[in-house]
């Protein structure tokens, strides 16, 4: 298999500057990929083949091609394992993969890493001690002019 297809039915994703946030709507877990990982996701999510993705990243970050390839392979497998993507037999390969990436790049190559956050449910359990509404209750009234 040489390309991925994002499981759009239950996965949403958004690029925020140099970080990509991927949400698995079925499990409630979300994932962050920063720097090289964000670029890797951007390419793979548009069905760029792993070969192509590795070439683009190696050139963009002036990194060893074999090393990059191994790490892209590992990330792709992890994305499939986490239920975010599936292998694609017949990818619609983008004509100019490099054009998919933003102009600015991270200062140096670091292995693409998928950070998983599955603690949203527990965070939502933590009631604030003081409920504060939009007006900021219970706040001091504004001083008279």
**Least distance in Å: CB of 91 to other proteins?**
28
**Least distance in Å: CB of 145 to other proteins?**
15
Which parts of this chain interact with other proteins (CB under 8 A)? 14, 16, 19, 21, 23, 30, 32, 115, 117, 119-120, 122-132, 134-142
Helices 36-44 and 50-61: crossing angle in degrees, nearest 10, is: 150
Q: In angstroms, what CA-CA distances link 87 with 9, 20, 113, 143?
A: 15, 20, 19, 62
**Least distance in Å: CB of 128 to other proteins?**
5
**Least distance in Å: CB of 71 to other proteins?**
19
Nearer to other proteins, 30 or 61 (CB): 30
What are all long-range contacts of 63-69, with beta carbons under 8 Å and residues at least 24 apart? Answer: 63/109, 68/109
Nearer to other proteins, 99 or 139 (CB): 139
Nearer to other proteins, 2 or 110 (CB): 110
Nearer to other proteins, 16 or 108 (CB): 16
Report residue 17 as tokens: 């500057």
Sort strands 11-16 and 30-34 into parallel, antiparallel or unpaired: unpaired
Cα 6 from Cα 34, distance rounded (Å): 18
């Amino acid at each position: 298999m040489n390309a991925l297809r994002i499981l759009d039915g239950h996965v949403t994703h958004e690029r925020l500057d140099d970080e990509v946030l991927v949400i698995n709507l079925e499990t409630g877990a979300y994932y962050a990929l920063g720097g090289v990982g964000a670029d890797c996701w951007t390419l793979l999510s548009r069905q760029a083949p792993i070969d192509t993705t590795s070439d683009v990243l190696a050139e963009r970050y002036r990194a060893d091609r074999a090393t990059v390839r191994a790490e892209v392979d590992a990330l792709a497998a992890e994305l499939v394992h986490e239920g975010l993507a599936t292998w694609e037999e017949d990818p619609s390969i983008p004509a100019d993969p490099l054009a998919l990436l933003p102009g600015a790049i991270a200062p140096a190559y670091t292995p693409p890493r998928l950070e998983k956050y599955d603690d949203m449910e527990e965070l939502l359990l933590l009631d604030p001690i003081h409920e504060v509404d939009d007006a900021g209750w219970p706040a001091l009234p504004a001083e008279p002019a």
